[in-house]
Amino acid sequence: MGFFRKRYKKALLTKENQETQESVSLENTINQFRECSDLVHNALPELQVEYLYIENLVNEQKVKEYLVEPFDTIKFPDVSLILTEKRYKKTADSRSLYKGILNGEAAIFFKDEAYLVNLFGPETRPVNESGTETVITGPHESFNESAGQNISLLRRRIKSSHLKVYKVSVGKVTLTDVYLLYLENVANKDFVEKVKQRVESVETDGIFESTMLVQMIEENPYSFFPQFLTTERPDTASSKILEGKIVGITDGSPSAFIAPTSFFEFFNSPEDYYQRWAVATALRILRYSAFFITVFFTAFYVAVITFHYEMIPRTLLSTLLESRSRVPFPPLIEALVMEFTIELLREAGARLPTKIGQTIGIVGGIVIGQSAVQAGFTSNILIIAVAISAIASFVIPNYIMSASIRLVRFGLIILAGIWGNYGIILGIGLVLVHLSGMTNLGSSYLIPIAPISTADMKDILIRAPFSKLKTRPYQAQTRNPYRQKKK
Amino acid sequence: MNEKLHSFHLAILIYLIQTGVTLFVLPAELAQNFGTNGWVAVIIGAALVYINIFLIGAVYRLGRGKSFFAIIEDGMPPMLSYTLYLLLTVLWSLIGCITAKQYIMVYQIITFQHTPGSLLKLGYDVLIYTLVIKGIYNIAKASTFIFSITVFLALLFFYFITDIELARYTPFLFKDGDGLLIGIFKTYIAFLGFELSILFFPYINKESKFFTSLIIGNLITTVVYVYTCLIIFGVFGYEYLKELIFPLLDFLSIIRLPIIERLENLLYALFALKVLITSVMFYWAATESAKRIFRNKSDKTLSFILIAFSYFISLIPDSLEQVRNWLDFLTRWEIGVTLFLPVICIILILLRSKGRKHADGKNC
């Protein structure tokens, strides 16, 4: 098998080399793009000029300005004069010529020479409000699918020449541009190099989303948990750059990824910094409480009802018994069915248009809430437990983390059904062991708790007043740890 | 091996290795052996441990951070050192295993009378294995997290402040006890686990503040033991305590909150995480020791073999009484180890430095 794989790889490499070695000529280029109906081929025989471009990638105005008008008004000998202008780049490499055309450039053939001129400018989605990271106070802009637009949103916020933008092309077929942004005088050089190296080493045919790319560069690909924070908000991304972290922007993706990231960052919202510190701290505590409720509430219900009835106070016991008296299933099955139904409703609501999504919510609510109880299919108390868990899961600001946590919850419910409280604790232990072994760019995923960093606690577990947030996060291992003047 | 243990993690790790199921039986043992105000004996036990810690600190300083295994191998013939490693591997893996078994058996008494203990133990061993193979640095990280979860339990004890009666403390010290000597011995056992720190030398640096961290770690354990025993003596009184087997469990069962009561079950389950660190660290130490004998085997393989081997051994004791007897036997050996290892290391270091001086003198 190894022998055949080697031969296949060799054949591929040879083919690639042949493509590189191809001479730059109009015929070869047309042949390369044969059967591409969106390829525009124009010939100006009196000037001995022919040009090619892909009409869906270019801006009409630029075509007029850089192609039509200059060549319309001149005579043959002046063509070479025009082509000496800076925007026309001569190329002798067929691969860069094809790449240029695919990137929205026009290939101009004059005599035996080829030139590229950038006409890129397809229609993009305007800057809108973020659909997944909404805030009440603070900026409402969010990234869109244009990397250029996204970088401009960051550049407008960080007006510093230290903000570096490193470009990498990822995907052999898609040639997606990935931009790594960082503050040269703040970011840790090793981290920057690591991210560059990892993104450059991705070998795949294509990527379409930042969240897809990060799964190819993370250290624990089998983990349930996201290891890179992703955001659609330019204010979040800029604040992370200022913290000394690296932000990655993928062309075609409205999310930027941030490295390195700790587990606790997924529970922060940009609004924490726009609110008063006390309110923001209360919100953070609320979110961590929501996390505990999401993970444990249903599991704990199953454990108590199955094994530990003695833990229920007498006043509550009669209500519980009455509620469960008509249910024919064991608590574990009952809880799993309900959690599964809630997930069905959530998924259906997320995929359907808003108006129909609301109907699903109402139908689901009535059917599950009323009918299931009346039919003796489930108990009232479990519906409350499952509903509270579901609501709590949506309090977690990061959708990817919230989805991972919901998945972990299923495991805990099953363990609670098998071994009660002991099962839950075993489950927590397994998650904890897993989390403690996780790293992001080599730094711990559990910073600031493990390893301990008391300075960072002020901006992770609570949000201290700005006068107390003088240092950059320890995890960023920055060269310039102070973000405020030392007094 | 770039990562080093931070002093905070080191202190927490020491505390978590030391505490475990012992906390649940310690007040009763203190009452039985010391009688009135038996909680004071915790301080005596802690003082004895400090002597031992000084010895380990001396090994670190005299050996200039040289690893325990390197000291032994430099000064002992291979056969002797291999025999020592084999003994340590068996002893430490059995202590790790029986500690976990004791926890499981107590839990079985509370809740799962009809579930096979071997099955519960198997689940626990899977957890132990996943953590052991992560290495000391990740074990320390996990222990910091576990500490932050369990430290809040101490706050629960404030629930009992109003139940404390000063008269229960009595004005007498160590009256009506069964035996001071056996009591001190048992109290000392409650602190065991710190001796594993002799294996930490390659994982620490100057910033780890090894000696200070050991002292702080043992201090945390002492404070937790004193605090718990003091309150339990104040609530139950020493006479009633003598009748109890797991006073802390009875103590926690009194807690009643508006939506939940009989918290002892949940809180004891939470103790699984504390016991986890104790077991994991003993298995880790056993693996480190076994690694010196079977050098071509990976850590994962050795840990697996040790955990699997000791799991089958743990099936032999089938009652809590037998488990306690096993633990008594193993901890007696462990006390010997806690004294023997630092002393032998110091002797070997001194002999070697003397030999070197002698050789240098000859060369001159």
pLDDT digits (tens, 9 = 90+) for B238-262: 999 999 999 999 988 888 888 888 8
Q: Give CATH for domain B7-333.
A: 1.20.1740.10
**Structure letter (DSSP) for residue B197:** G
Instruction: Tell me which of A261, A290, A325 is where a domain ends.
Output: A261
pLDDT at B364 over 60: no
Q: Which of B120, B130, B263 sits opposite A422 (nearest CB)?
A: B120
* A344 shares its domain with A313: yes
Q: In terms of residues, how long is chain B?
A: 364
* A432 shares its domain with A336: yes
* A161 shares its domain with A303: no
pLDDT digits (tens, 9 = 90+) for A368-396: 777 888 888 888 889 889 989 999 998 99
List of chain B residues whose C-beta atoms are within 8 Å of the C-beta of residue A430: 127, 130
Strand partners, A165: A181
List of chain B residues whose C-beta atoms are within 8 Å of the C-beta of residue A435: 145
CA-CA-CA-CA torsion sign (B272, B277, B283, B284) = positive
- Of all helices (H) and strands (E), which one includes residue B16? helix B7-18
Best mutation target among A433, A435, A439, A460 (most B Cβ atoms within 10 Å) is A433
Residue A255 in domain:
yes
pLDDT digits (tens, 9 = 90+) for A315-354: 888 888 888 888 889 999 999 999 998 888 888 888 887 7
Task: Note whether B263 contacts A311, CB cutoff 8 Å.
Answer: yes
* A188 shares its domain with A92: no
Instruction: Tell me which of A261, A293, A325 is where a domain ends.
Output: A261
* A42 shares its domain with A11: yes
Task: Note whether A422 contacts B272, CB cutoff 8 Å.
Answer: yes
Residue B150 pLDDT class (50, 70, 90 cuts)? confident
pLDDT at B3 over 80: no
Sequence-distant contacts of B182-187: CB under 8 A, at least 24 apart: B182/B33, B183/B29, B183/B30, B183/B32, B183/B33, B183/B34, B183/B38, B183/B41, B184/B41, B184/B44, B184/B45, B184/B48, B185/B335, B186/B29, B186/B33, B187/B26, B187/B29, B187/B30, B187/B41, B187/B42, B187/B44, B187/B45
Residue A67 in domain:
yes
- The residues on B that touch A, with CB distances below 8 Å, are 6, 8-9, 107, 111-112, 115, 120, 123-124, 127, 130-131, 134, 138-142, 144-146, 148, 256, 258-263, 265-266, 269-270, 272-273, 276
Tokens of B29: 């043992």
* A322 shares its domain with A245: no
Residue A109 in domain:
yes
List of chain B residues whose C-beta atoms are within 8 Å of the C-beta of residue A308: 111, 262, 265-266
Q: What does the alpha-carbon distance between residue B35 and residue B37 come to, in Å, rounded to a whole number?
A: 6
Taking residues A283-293, report their average pLDDT.
95
Give the Å distances, CA to CA, from A436 to A440, B53, B135, B136. 11, 28, 11, 11
Query: Could you list the residue range(s) of the whole structural domain that residue A431 is in?
Result: 275-440
Q: What does the alpha-carbon distance between residue A266 and residue A396 come to, in Å, rounded to a whole number?
A: 8
pLDDT at A355 over 80: no
Nearest CA in chain A to B8: A452
Structural domain tally of chain A? 3
pLDDT digits (tens, 9 = 90+) for B318-340: 899 999 999 999 999 999 999 99
pLDDT digits (tens, 9 = 90+) for B101-135: 999 999 998 888 888 999 999 999 999 999 999 99
A448 preceded by a cis bond (ω within 30 of 0): yes
pLDDT at A2 over 60: no
Residue A142 in domain:
no
Could you give the percent of chain B with pLDDT greater than 70?
98
pLDDT digits (tens, 9 = 90+) for A105-122: 999 998 888 999 999 888
Q: What does the alpha-carbon distance between residue B277 and residue B100 come to, in Å, rounded to a whole number?
A: 10
Q: What does the alpha-carbon distance between residue A194 and residue B176 come to, in Å, rounded to a whole number?
A: 67
Best mutation target among B265, B270, B278 (most A Cβ atoms within 10 Å) is B265
pLDDT digits (tens, 9 = 90+) for B50-96: 999 999 999 999 999 999 999 999 999 999 999 999 999 999 999 99
pLDDT at A458 over 80: yes
Shortest Cα distance from B81 to chain A (angstroms)?
33
Q: Phi then psi for A144, rounded to 5 degrees?
A: -125, -165
* A200 shares its domain with A283: no
A436 in contact with B, Cβ within 8 Å? yes
Domain boundaries, chain B: 7-333
